[in-house]
Amino acid sequence: ESLDWEDQDKISITTAALMTASDLGAVTKPWPVQRKIAGLVAEEFWYQGDLEKAVLSAPLVPMMDRELRQELPRLQVGFCDGVCLPVYRALACLSPALQHMEEAVMFNRDRWAELAENNQDEDDETENKVTRNL
């Protein structure tokens, strides 16, 4: 189905989806780049969480809690499944030329899932394994 350029609601939704896809674009990059960017974003979130904990004594959501950094792969899988894939699947339906972006998200999601599985069986001595080598 092609986009009806006369339907302002559809144009707004499509524009919002394209803007969101732009914001999420790192998740479509080759794995080494995606992993590095995710680590940098995680460090930014953890820094903000540190500040919130120190200044506000506020409870933290898991992605902002540095003490849960070993959960990064599992959190990334959830991020891909719940946020990224719905956006890129919708765009792939709009244009088959965008299918490769959905496939890239799936590839990276699967790499995060592998890391999540491996981290579950490892000792605490490998703490921060995911971000240590970024």
- The reported pLDDT for the residue numbered 117 is 93
Long-range contact pairs involving 82-87 (C-beta distance under 8 Å, separation at least 24): 83/24, 84/24, 84/27, 84/109, 85/109, 87/17, 87/20, 87/21, 87/24
Taking only the tens place, the pLDDT of each residue in 79-96 is 999 999 999 999 999 889
Q: Give, in degrees to the nearest 5, the angle at Cα 35 between 84 and 49.
A: 80
Taking only the tens place, the pLDDT of each residue in 27-59 is 999 999 999 999 999 999 999 999 999 999 888
Whether 107 and 26 have beta carbons less than 8 Å apart is answered as no
Burial of residue 120, with CB atoms counted within 10 A of its CB: 0-12 exposed, 13-18 middle, 19 or more buried: exposed
